[in-house]
Amino acid sequence: MLESIKKEVKGSLENAFLNLIQCIWNKALYFAGLLYDSVKGEGTCNKLLIRIMISCSGVDMLKIRSEFKRKFSKSLYYYIQQDPNGDNQKALLYLCGGGD
């Protein structure tokens, strides 16, 4: 299916279809990837990080944390700790639910 999309569709529509399929196949891994993109490197993408952490807190967060650590070797909690954001950081660590 992915190959068909890559062959038939280009541009932002291709990206939208590929993201949709990834989310359907493994929602936790999809969000783990988005979270990694928001915390890797210097500084964080706070808007994306906060939006995902709030919308996925609760039921999905345990699965997302597990997929995150499996794919990126370190926990999401670790990456959030690396960016000193004061109150934002405390809230994000709370939403994360702990280190793995």
Domain boundaries, the chain: 28-96
Sign of the four-CA dihedral 9, 12, 13, 18: positive
- Enter the CATH code of domain 28-96: 1.10.220.10
* Residue of 92, 100, 85, 88 whose CA lies nearest to 35: 92
Would you state the pLDDT for residue 66? 95
DSSP 44-64: --HHHHHHHHHHHTTHHHHHH
From residue 86, alpha-carbon distances to 39, 47, 65 in Å are 15, 15, 22
Q: How far apart are CA 43 and CA 39, in angstroms?
A: 7
pLDDT tens digits in sequence order for the chain, 100 residues long: 767 777 777 888 888 888 888 888 899 999 999 999 998 876 666 788 889 899 887 768 999 999 999 999 999 999 998 876 777 888 899 988 877 6
**Which of 97, 18, 29, 14 minimizes the C-alpha distance to 68?**
29
**pTM reported for the whole predicted model:** 0.80
Side-chain half-sphere exposure of 43, counting CA atoms within 13 A: 4
Q: Which pLDDT score is estimated for 56?
A: 86
Question: For residue 36, what pLDDT is reported?
Answer: 94
